[in-house]
Structure 1
Amino acid sequence: MLVAHTLGTRPAVIAKYKRKVRLAEGITPEGVLQPEAMQRGLDCLAMFARMLQQHGVPATNVAVVATAALRSINNADEFQQRALPVLGHPIEVICGMREAELIYQGMVATTQGAGRRLVIDIGGASTEFIVGDGETLLFKTSLPFGSVTYNQAFFTSAPLQQLDFDDVRASVSEALATHQQTLLDLGWHGVVGASGAVQSVVEVLQHRGSSEIITLEVLGQLKLEILAETSLALPGIRGLSRERAPTFAAGVAILLALFELLHIQQLSLSGGALREGVLLMLAQRVAMQDRP
């Protein structure tokens, strides 16, 4: 959750709130969100509702969006109906393509750089790929894999093995196959990561006093450290927080696969993504409402 003041049509963030919910962990093979995961989501929204009240945000100035987890479940209507009285605002479930657009807009608004860029956002249940040049968006797609879903599919028993990483690469390759050549043909001057998976790696590098630029060498070293662990909690990886640990291996595996399949040389962390894109959209909408 972001709270901001609008200066013209540009939002200036004054407060941030975040809680790990991992809805995708609670989705059954039949596509139903289990009660425990649903309650985690509702509890988080109740906290957000208190913050909205505390900051005195007018109802017309609130946007609430949901992404892959609610897109994919069969009981999304139930979640939305239960959430409405808790939060006091309806939830808009956006499609993957709209999510990609907002991610790119949030990146451009918050991240220095010029030239054509590839933006990768590895979420819990989906991953977005966007290529743009300045404000111009050239390519966007959303694919149904993420760090939470791959963690459940491939990283369930310790010690983790090379085969787990191989399986992730094969799955990413299959999911990316339709778009891989298009992405390579478009090309880019730089690659930006806008996701928890990238944030997790950068936090580890920061803790170690290393460069925050992610390379294939960095990911390869982290994979070796993961394979040396005997617990899924990965307690021996220096700089990895307990909160980030559950999906760290899956995130590293996805990044490794993408580096190899898309011939990525290096990747840096974006200054913002979906949340910032939604905030920019909302600020522009509020500015339009305020016009005489």
Structure 2
Amino acid sequence: MSRLISAITLGSNSFNMLVAEAVDGHPVVIAKYKQKVRLADGIDDNGNLDVDAFERGLGCLAYFAKQVLHHQLSSDDIKIIATATLRQVANRQSFIDQAFKLLPIPIDVISGNEEAEYIYQGMWHTTQGDDRRLVIDIGGASTEFVVGDSNHILFKVSKAIGCVSMNHPHFSHFPYRNTDFDAVEQRVAEQLGDSLTQLKAFGCTKAVGASGTLQTLIELLKHREQDQTITFEFLQSIKAEILNESCHQLSNIEGLSQERAPTLAAGVAIMLALFKLLDLNAVNLSGGALREGVLYSLI
């Protein structure tokens, strides 16, 4: 009988579960489960997850527990990792304790650097090419930057830049304004700090990534039958569409799903800032990132 493994990631925007069959040292994904939990949207003034976010997270884990039973997964073949929001909230342990009652598998709250390592390995195992690459993963509350040659990491850093955490301070009103995008660019520059010089020193003008923001933009390119490479010009065109919107749900943007709409403006603002600050020419979607890296760690 083949061995089934599962990677469960508790992100600041989404909770994800991959179920895979281990075949010749590689995971072959047979099922994917995902819910937009948006933990980073539910941090109160005391730094705690509020009741709604807490319950959304637990509800998703109860759903994942059913999938564990459905696929007859062994607890030894499941890894659960949590990222930026659960790294920072004050009531993290309370959430972990309640989660364990629903899904009795330890939750590993990883550091930003550990997250960057998983992301890079997930990219390297699933994306063609061994040239030097900059990997950017924009999450709900943090963004990881990794530079590597082949499977060797040269530089890694995690910064408090996220499409959910940037949403409220800059895009909580409507209609959106040019100054909102400018404010995000300033915040991104401040967060990068000295790391900006270090990243630029590697000379990477192209990047790859697999975050929800990048996937959303690739979906827009596909829908419009355009080349699936994100450029500064394309981002500028989407920004113009966002600024011209008459509906806060961005329902007039062709090819945009309503699930993706709430964080599009913040995600585009972050991407535009990174293109300018890092002198990027293009960003492509990688074959995998965090979840795939966790699967390979299980193998």
Fold agreement, TM-score > 0.5: yes
8 Å contact from structure 1 (residues 106, 276) kept in 2:
yes
Distance (whole Å) between structure 2 residues aligned to residue 240 and residue 149 of structure 1 = 21
Distance (whole Å) between structure 2 residues aligned to residue 276 and residue 46 of structure 1 = 22
Distance (whole Å) between structure 2 residues aligned to residue 59 and residue 90 of structure 1 = 10
**What amino acid is the match of 1:184?**
K
State the match for 2:274 in structure 1.
258
Unaligned runs of 5+ in 2: 1-16
> Which of residues 61, 83, 104 in structure 1 aligns to 2:77?
61
Q: Please report the RMSD computed on the Cα atoms of aligned residues, expressed in angstroms.
A: 0.9
Runs of 4+ in 1 over 6 A off after TM superposition: none
Deviation at 1:13, TM superposition (A): 1.2
Deviation at 1:29, TM superposition (A): 3.0
Deviation at 1:167, TM superposition (A): 0.2
Distance (whole Å) between structure 1 residues aligned to residue 221 and residue 48 of structure 2 = 37
> Which of residues 291, 295, 298 in structure 2 aligns to 1:275?
291
Q: Secondary structure at the match of 2:194?
A: helix
Structure 2 residue 259 is matched with structure 1 residue 243? yes
**Number of aligned residues:** 283
Name the one with the larger strand percent: 2
Q: For residues 171-190 of structure 1, what are the structure 2 equivalents within 5 Å?
A: 171-188=187-204, 190=206
Structure 2 residue 167 is matched with structure 1 residue 159? no
Distance (whole Å) between structure 2 residues aligned to residue 255 and residue 189 of structure 1 = 14
Distance (whole Å) between structure 1 residues aligned to residue 106 and residue 184 of structure 2 = 36
State the match for 2:154 in structure 1.
138
> Which of residues 198, 207, 211 in structure 1 aligns to 2:223?
207
State the match for 1:233 in structure 2.
249
Distance (whole Å) between structure 2 residues aligned to residue 86 and residue 58 of structure 1 = 15
Deviation at 1:189, TM superposition (A): 6.4
User: Which sits farther off after the overlay, 227-236 or 185-194?
Assistant: 185-194
**What amino acid is the match of 1:96?**
G
8 Å contact from structure 2 (residues 147, 156) kept in 1:
yes
Distance (whole Å) between structure 1 residues aligned to residue 240 and residue 204 of structure 2 = 29
Distance (whole Å) between structure 2 residues aligned to residue 77 and residue 8 of structure 1 = 38
> Which of residues 46, 49, 62 in structure 2 aligns to 1:33?
49
Deviation at 1:87, TM superposition (A): 1.2
TM-score normalised over the length of structure 1? 0.95
State the match for 1:90 in structure 2.
106
Structure 2 residue 207 is matched with structure 1 residue 195? no
Structure 2 residue 21 is matched with structure 1 residue 5? yes
Distance (whole Å) between structure 2 residues aligned to residue 187 and residue 102 of structure 1 = 23
8 Å contact from structure 2 (residues 205, 280) kept in 1:
no
8 Å contact from structure 2 (residues 205, 278) kept in 1:
no
Distance (whole Å) between structure 1 residues aligned to residue 188 and residue 45 of structure 2 = 20
Q: Secondary structure at the match of 1:63?
A: strand
Quote the sequence identity (%).
51
Partner deviation per Cα, 1:213-239 (whole Å, 9 max, x = no partner): 000000000000000013321111100
